[in-house]
Structure 1
Amino acid sequence: MRAPRSAASRAGRHAGPRPALDRLRHDLAHADAMVALSALGAVAGLVVGVLIVAFRLVTEKTLVVAGLMDDAERFEALPWPWRLALPIAGGLAVGLIFQRASVGARQVGPAHVMAQLASQAGRMPWRNAVMQFVGGAISIVCGHSVGREGPVIHVGAASASLFGQWLRLPNNSLRTLVACGVAGAIAASFNTPIAGVVFAMEVVLLEYTLVGFAPVILAAVSATSLSRLVYGADPAFAVPELQRASLIDLPWIVVLGVVVGCLAAAYVAGTRRLDQRSRHLPLWLRTTAAGAFTGLCALAAPEVMGLGYDTVQLTLLGEIGLAALVVIALLKLAATVACGGLGLPGGLIGPMVVMGATAGAALGIVGQSLAPGLGASPGLYAMLGVAAMMGASLQAPLAALMAILELTGHADVLLPGMAAVIPALLV
């Protein structure tokens, strides 16, 4: 007859060795868990890269497959009825979708990411990420004056957070994974891994630590590598050889920073005021009105529609005249205020790049007419306008400087870039 097992024996049989995930959670609870966290950051970057590639494919191929355009950026080629009707239809569709969702599920974008970091230690709900993906894709496809960076930041942060929640990671590791998702999203979207890392550390983690740096860097590397497999290694813009700025240019560059800083301040103030004054309206009416206003602006300047990266490219090449640059910058500002203030779930960085580039190039042309001795080309002034606009609107000067460094590939842009960014921040 078999002897009964002792309680200790039965407990040992059921307990067994601690599972690998439990050991991982225990190790990650310590501040020196850099190796394990770095590995998780690399995996999170791959997950983010897949989602960002999927988002780009949806936004870039929908109208092409539908036969309305031969290029995702060619809204200028659309007949004027389409330029008016498409944003209205998109605004109505987004509004109806969001109207049916719960109030909590409507919270999207980088602001939602920061709120979850502050109140929930980075725990991101999946419903909001789905709403962001769908709403952001519709807004971009329909030509609203929004960028893809806001949606990809939210989707990237949420995917990394959900990965960490699935592993039941401790709060400190979850926050780092959210930063990994943000870095991977920015890096894969713009093909600028350094700017993605700096943005995540400067805006999300709000600190620079070795334990945070390693996983964030690996996330940016893995996400960018995956993106380059699909889209190639070229940056978002083909920046021509730019004539360097001399010391004579610095006073006018400071003026550029002040003017662009005023544009950024006008965007922030206008968006906030419009949001406050329209909250009593139904959401579908607000988003439809934003689409209608964008369509009206597009009748005068179709360049305000969509991401506008083709307009930035032409601006860098010096193929847009002064009057057109001013009109595009002002109408892009108005349309972006309408889209942001009335609740369309798009990003901010894309419109800021367009406004900064067009305003900067316009100021470069004006400066050369006032002082023919200025040595820098309007293309360089366009890049400085991008840096000033991004730095002032996002309150992320280092990320803005790293972005133009990676986009141009020339370290000489940093000195005039700093001269433009700081005045823009102080406005």
Structure 2
Amino acid sequence: MKVNELLVKFLVWRIKHIDNRNFVLLLSGVIGALAGLAAVLLKQSVHLIHQALTLSFKTEYANYLYLSYPLIGILLTVLFAHFVLKEKLGHGVTDILYTISKKSSIIQRGKMYSRMITSALTVGFGGSVGLEAPIVVTGSAIGSNIGRLMHLNYKKRTILLGCGAAGAISAIFNAPIGGVIFCVEVILAEISIASFIPLLIASVFGSIVSLLLLGDDVLFSVKVTDLFKASDTPYYLMLGIVCGLASLYFTRATYWVEGKIGGIKKTYKRILIGGLLLGLIIFVLPPIYGEGYESIKALLSNNGSGFLNRSLFFSSGGSPYILLFFALAVFIAKPIASALTISSGGSGGVFAPSLFSGGVIGFCFAIGIQMLLGEPISVSNFTLVGMCGVMSGVLHAPLTAIFLIAEITGGYELFVPLMLVSAISYVTISYFEKHSIYTKHLVERGDLIQHDKDRQVLSLIDMNKIIETDLLTIEPTRSLGDLVELIKVSKRNVFPVVNDKGELMGIVTLDDIREVMFDEASQNNLTIKELMHSPPAVVSSYDSMATVMKKFEETHAWNLPVIDNGKYTGFISKSRIFNAYRNRLIRQHAE
């Protein structure tokens, strides 16, 4: 009780002394710092688990524990999620986008820590997913709940949610610009300059916390050693197309595997099948274990034997042909492994897997050019640019990919090829897939509308709140005289014809009976069944507003009946929708 009293006193003091704009700026710094702290804790937790499990592994031998570790990690994750959190895990960033679109940016308090625990278990035990999505969920939850605690409206709460996401990405990669761009490009569809400033502050504070606690020991960082050569431009053009097609494969493979494994209804059967298949893949292709950043560092330093560590192919001595074959197999298997991890119950995201796959495909491309044409191109540069290309395609976030790779390499030496490959990859995959791996299912379900203000406002209207139930119903066996009596007390000109089971048989309007309603013989002899007609269309309270409006446009009707599970519920009118639309616009403008 005392805590609530102190909070009320603080809020009253804040209203008197700090305006909303400056208060949001102050909160953005706090949220960025907390998100940065969460990122550090998660990274260190995964590092400790990973080290404890693999410390005794020999570099030159394959290890059979790889077969069991992922299964154990997924099982522990599912048990924790089911019995402690009582929630189902999935794609974290997708959940955040759904929360912004449909839940007024209100995230459950438990998500401020839950995804840190579940992802630490999953990735620590070798689940082939990334930490970025879980830490974005954590940071976003921190921002959302602080916004709720401070009684801020939807718009400001959404900005603070974005601040948490920006601070998290900034901290985990020590990439403040990348954190801001990721938030703007992926999390927040529309943002003004005034809203941009809090994101900058949060991202900077997230990066500062990471630097203070970890120094340069961030999740993934490298230094560019080779200069960009303009003569390599044709190869970068080709790499852009290859990355676009690789992104398409990554996306389609992920959807396919998640559909197959997710279709298994029994939870423990799904865990067993997914965990064992994942363990088998990791045993044959150890670089897929966990996030795989150490393996990418080996490729960047042209350390082929390091990439083959703990695999059945280590004894090959780093033969370029064996290495190329092995790397291609790793690329093909990575999205499958990531999808197995998530769909069988693990916690993580596709951010890191897309970077990993891009690095591998960039390496394979460079080695292939060297073998086929004998061109001495930089393997490390093409590996880095490949990371940018596939990330751009999978996430549909070309700017995020460019600035993130530029920042983690400590400079902008590769800025030109990064821009070129990112753009070409994005254009290539956009030809086949219009939406990112985060948004595809949401857009298909009508749960996310991007870059269409009209449909965005419509999606915020609650269908159940605008259904009209004041229309007087009549049974089909009644006479026209009975209907005339209803007309005397009704304020509407539409009468639903409903049988004793609650089913809609048809409708009668005043226009249908205008010529006969005052004729006594007709009143006694005509039944409603003879007068009624079918409505031009019906809708359900479960339909999206976009679907409802499409039916209104197709039928040119002003009123349509609402049918749920075969039963008549009420009517919805176009005028009621327009009124709700106008009120929603006024409310958004006020916020």
TM interval, shorter chain, is 0.7 to 0.9
For 1:25 and 1:161, the matched residues in 2 are separated by: 20
SS at match of 1:307: coil
For 2:330 and 2:88, the matched residues in 1 are separated by: 34
Query: Contact 1:318 / 1:378 at 8 angstroms: preserved in 2?
Result: yes
Query: Contact 2:224 / 2:381 at 8 angstroms: preserved in 1?
Result: no
- The aligned residue for residue 356 of structure 1 is 358
What's the CA shift for 1:76? 6.0
* Structure 2 CA distance for partners of 1:232 and 1:112, relative to 1, 3 Å: same
- The aligned residue for residue 185 of structure 2 is 202
1:226-265 to 2 correspondences below 5 Å: 226-233=209-216, 236-265=219-248
1:112-151 to 2 correspondences below 5 Å: 112-151=95-134
For 2:295 and 2:90, the matched residues in 1 are separated by: 31
Aligned counterpart for 2:301 among listed residues 317, 322, 333: 317
- The aligned residue for residue 390 of structure 2 is 389
Query: Contact 2:91 / 2:342 at 8 angstroms: preserved in 1?
Result: no
- The aligned residue for residue 36 of structure 2 is 49
Query: Contact 1:160 / 1:180 at 8 angstroms: preserved in 2?
Result: yes
* Structure 2 CA distance for partners of 1:23 and 1:391, relative to 1, 3 Å: farther
For 1:98 and 1:235, the matched residues in 2 are separated by: 28
What's the CA shift for 1:82? 1.1
Query: Contact 1:105 / 1:127 at 8 angstroms: preserved in 2?
Result: no
Structure with the bigger percentage of helix: 1
Could you report, residue by residue, the CA deviation over 1:8-49 in whole angstroms, capped at 9, with x for unpaired residues? Answer: xxxxxxxxxx95514646999x9xx44321111001111112
Q: Which runs of 5+ in 1 are unaligned?
A: 1-17
Query: Contact 2:73 / 2:121 at 8 angstroms: preserved in 1?
Result: yes
Could you report, residue by residue, the CA deviation over 1:84-129 in whole angstroms, capped at 9, with x for unpaired residues? Answer: 1111111222233334478755456111111111112211002344
Residue identity matched to 1:310: E
For 1:134 and 1:118, the matched residues in 2 are separated by: 26
Under a length normalisation based on structure 2, what TM-score does the superposition of the two structures give? 0.63
What's the CA shift for 1:138? 0.8
* Structure 2 CA distance for partners of 1:90 and 1:257, relative to 1, 3 Å: same
1:10-409 to 2 correspondences below 5 Å: 19-22=9-12, 24=14, 33-64=20-51, 67-70=52-55, 80-100=63-83, 106=89, 109-233=92-216, 236-277=219-260, 278-320=262-304, 321-373=323-375, 376-409=377-410
> Once superposed, what is the RMSD of the aligned Cα atoms?
2.6
Could you report, residue by residue, the CA deviation over 1:320-377 in whole angstroms, capped at 9, with x for unpaired residues? Answer: 2433322322222331232234442212111112111111011011123333446x40
* Structure 2 CA distance for partners of 1:129 and 1:270, relative to 1, 3 Å: farther
- The aligned residue for residue 7 of structure 1 is none
Query: Contact 2:133 / 2:350 at 8 angstroms: preserved in 1?
Result: yes
Query: Contact 2:74 / 2:344 at 8 angstroms: preserved in 1?
Result: no
* Structure 2 CA distance for partners of 1:215 and 1:284, relative to 1, 3 Å: farther
Task: Name the count of aligned residue pairs.
Answer: 402
* Structure 2 CA distance for partners of 1:90 and 1:78, relative to 1, 3 Å: farther
Could you report, residue by residue, the CA deviation over 1:203-241 in whole angstroms, capped at 9, with x for unpaired residues? Answer: 112234221221111111111111111210355445244
Q: Which runs of 5+ in 2 are unaligned?
A: 1-7, 305-322, 430-591
Query: Which segment drifts farther, 334-343 or 132-141?
Result: 334-343
* Structure 2 CA distance for partners of 1:352 and 1:81, relative to 1, 3 Å: same
Query: Contact 1:95 / 1:286 at 8 angstroms: preserved in 2?
Result: no
* Structure 2 CA distance for partners of 1:22 and 1:178, relative to 1, 3 Å: same
What's the CA shift for 1:79? 5.9
For 1:26 and 1:328, the matched residues in 2 are separated by: 60
Residue identity matched to 2:124: V
SS at match of 1:412: coil
* Structure 2 CA distance for partners of 1:97 and 1:77, relative to 1, 3 Å: farther
* Structure 2 CA distance for partners of 1:241 and 1:112, relative to 1, 3 Å: closer
SS at match of 1:68: helix
For 2:254 and 2:223, the matched residues in 1 are separated by: 34
SS at match of 1:276: helix
For 2:373 and 2:62, the matched residues in 1 are separated by: 41
For 1:114 and 1:296, the matched residues in 2 are separated by: 33
For 1:366 and 1:248, the matched residues in 2 are separated by: 17
Query: Contact 1:261 / 1:424 at 8 angstroms: preserved in 2?
Result: yes
For 1:210 and 1:189, the matched residues in 2 are separated by: 25
Residue identity matched to 1:350: A
